[in-house]
Amino acid sequence: MKHNYKAIVSYDGTRYYGWEHQPNTDMTIQGKLETVLEALTADEGRREKITVIGAGRTDAGVHARAMTCNFLLDTACSEEQLMAYMNRYLPEDISVNDLRICADRFHSRFKAQGKTYRYTCWYGLSRPVFDRRYVYILDRQPDAERMRRAARYMTGLMDYKSFCGNPRMKKSTVRAVDSIRIEESGGYLRMYFHGSGFLQNMVRIMTGTLLEVGWGDREPEDIPGILAAGDRSKAGFTAPARGLCLMKVDY
Q: Give me the active site residues, please.
A: 59
| 71 dihedral zone (left: phi>0; alpha: psi -120 to 50; beta) | beta
The helix or strand, by DSSP H or E, that contains position 150, with its residue range, turns out to be: helix 144-154
For 229-243, b where at least 16 C-beta lie within 10 A, e where not — what string? eeebebbbebbbbbb
Pick from 42, 96, 32, 98: which is nearest to 73 by CA?
42
Residue 194: CA atoms inside 13 Å, Cβ hemisphere, count?
10
Question: How far is the first Cα of the chain from the last one, in angstroms, to the nearest whole number?
Answer: 26
Give the separation between CA 4 and CA 74, rounded to whole angstroms. 9
Give the separation between CA 230 and CA 213, rounded to whole angstroms. 19
Amino acid identity of residue 74, one-letter, is D
- 189, β-bridge pairs: 121, 184
Per residue, what are the HEC states of 43-82?
Answer: HCCCCCCCCCEECCCCCCCCEEEEEEEEEEECCCCCHHHH
